[in-house]
Amino acid sequence: MVNHRTLLMLIITATLVRDVKAEQPPLVLLTEATPFTLTADTSGNGGEATAFVKQLLDNAQLDYELTFEPWKRAYRKAQSNDNVLIYPIARDTAREKQFRWIGQLIPVTYYLFSLTTRDDIKVVNLADAKTWKIGVVNEHIHHQFLKDKGFENLQAVNSNYQNIQKALLGRIDVFPMSDGGLMQLCSRDDLDCSSFKPILRLDGISNGLYLAAALDSDQKIIKKLNDSYQNLVANGQHEQVLRQRLLRIEEFKRHWPNQNLAVAP
């Protein structure tokens, strides 16, 4: 039989373990499988976002479980659960108060793209694009943006690569995508970037890609994450790890200077 002293020690131990877990809950890290989050098997390129986020969490001495999920599912989990991190997530006015923003991974500019051969597609403002079949990635920032602007002719898929293929097959006319995202997909999947052209810049959602936390996450964890991010920026690790994607953005600017490209606010 367990005597009173032993029973008391067991209760105290259980309480201490419970308090420790309450003080620092486990973190769930969510992302989708893209060239920015996964390293390509053949080229070894890509995966910069995951490499940096892992370094940030290790630097903060936080335990976590990394899960790759379709974006819509990951996004909803990050909205409805505590102590969940999500990346790379675009930031805009609508999302501002829905998450705690840890830090920017990279700057980003979104565009509407069409095939270079589609001279019939004339878009000088956002309203012009409503007449065309548009491919979007389910619940990505550009999907939410276009829905909010009253777009109805949207075909949602799970990846940017699917939209590129659909455009090449003539199943959609236009698709939104970021500058660095397009360049990295062209590199990884041996696509010819000259097959596409930006036709409208989407300034309203071009505010960078971030690591963010669920709104009601533990404040001590948020502080550790913020401090770790600032340390990695200050010591140059942020730029070093994400340099390849930053170079993709510069490559995009050289390929399409876009001085006279129409802009959607």
What is the tens place of the pLDDT at every residue in 158-171?
999 999 999 999 99
Q: Which of 262, 244, 204 is nearest to 35 (CA)?
A: 244
- Name the CATH topology of 4-107+207-250: D-Maltodextrin-Binding Protein; domain 2 (3.40.190)
The answer as to CATH 3.40.50.920 being correct for domain 110-206+252-264 is no
The mean pLDDT of 204-224, rounded to a whole number, is 94
Q: How far, CA to CA in Å, does 249 sit from each of 44, 71, 181?
A: 19, 23, 8
Confidence (pTM): 0.85
Beta-carbon contacts of residue 110 (< 8 Å; ≥ 6 apart): 90, 141, 142, 176, 177, 178, 179, 201, 202, 205, 206
Per-residue pLDDT at 6 exceeds 80: no
Q: Which of 198, 200, 202 is nearest to 115 (CA)?
A: 198
More reliable by pLDDT, 93 or 102: 102
Domain locations in the chain as residue ranges: 4-107+207-250, 110-206+252-264
Range from 5-9, 40-44, 174-178, 242-246 carrying the lowest mean pLDDT: 5-9
Q: Which of 107, 103, 106, 37 is nearest to 74 (CA)?
A: 37
- What is the predicted pLDDT for the residue at 44? 63
Alpha-carbon span 149 to 130, nearest angstrom: 10
**Cβ(159)–Cβ(72) below 8 Å:** no
136-155: pLDDT as tens digits: 999 999 999 999 999 999 99
**Cβ(193)–Cβ(183) below 8 Å:** yes
Mean pLDDT of the chain: 88
Range from 16-20, 158-162, 256-260 carrying the lowest mean pLDDT: 16-20
Identify the band that residue 224 occupies on the pLDDT scale cut at 50, 70 and 90: very high
Beta-carbon contacts of residue 114 (< 8 Å; ≥ 6 apart): 121, 123, 167, 173, 174, 196, 197, 199
Bond preceding residue 88 cis, omega within 30 of 0: yes
Sheet holding 27-31, edge to edge: 64-68, 27-31, 84-90, 209-214, 99-106
- How large a percentage of the chain has pLDDT more than 90? 73
